[in-house]
Amino acid sequence: MPVTSEIQSLPDVECSAVLLHASSILADAARIAPDAGGSFLNLGNEILWGFEGVLLNQLFVTQSSILIEVSNAREIQFRSPNPTNKQIIGFTIFFKNTEDK
């Protein structure tokens, strides 16, 4: 999903957890990669994510999040402070096994 400066939510899908992945469609690796020390420059290439409008977590391009336990993917919200870097958020949805064993 393309990331904008407006707060967006993931799709309405019931699940047990979500893993976020940050990427960019830019070919300029210098704008999206960490420096030689492993630090990301403050280039606005991060995606901010969180819940209920409080976006306190950063996810830099090329990174994945921790496993986020939610009952619906739409609980996770995100935005970019600088959408000109063309960030894309990908996500993996995990479901509970509800079959009887």
pLDDT tens sequence across 25-39: 875 555 556 666 666
Whether the predicted pLDDT of 41 surpasses 60: no
Which residue range is the domain that position 44 belongs to? 8-94
* Confidence band of 82 (pLDDT split at 50, 70, 90): confident
**pTM assigned to the model:** 0.82
Q: What is the mean pLDDT of residues 68-90?
A: 92
The domain tally of the chain equals 1
Is there a domain that residue 1 lies in?
no
CA distances from 79 to 35, 56, 90, 96, 98 (A): 23, 11, 13, 28, 33
**Considering the domain boundaries, does residue 51 fall inside one?**
yes
Q: With respect to residue 100, please indicate whether it lies within any of the assigned structural domains.
A: no
Q: Is residue 60 part of a domain?
A: yes
Residue 101 falls inside a structural domain = no
Structure token pair of residue 68: 């986020």
**What's the CA gap between 24 and 39, in Å, rounded?**
18
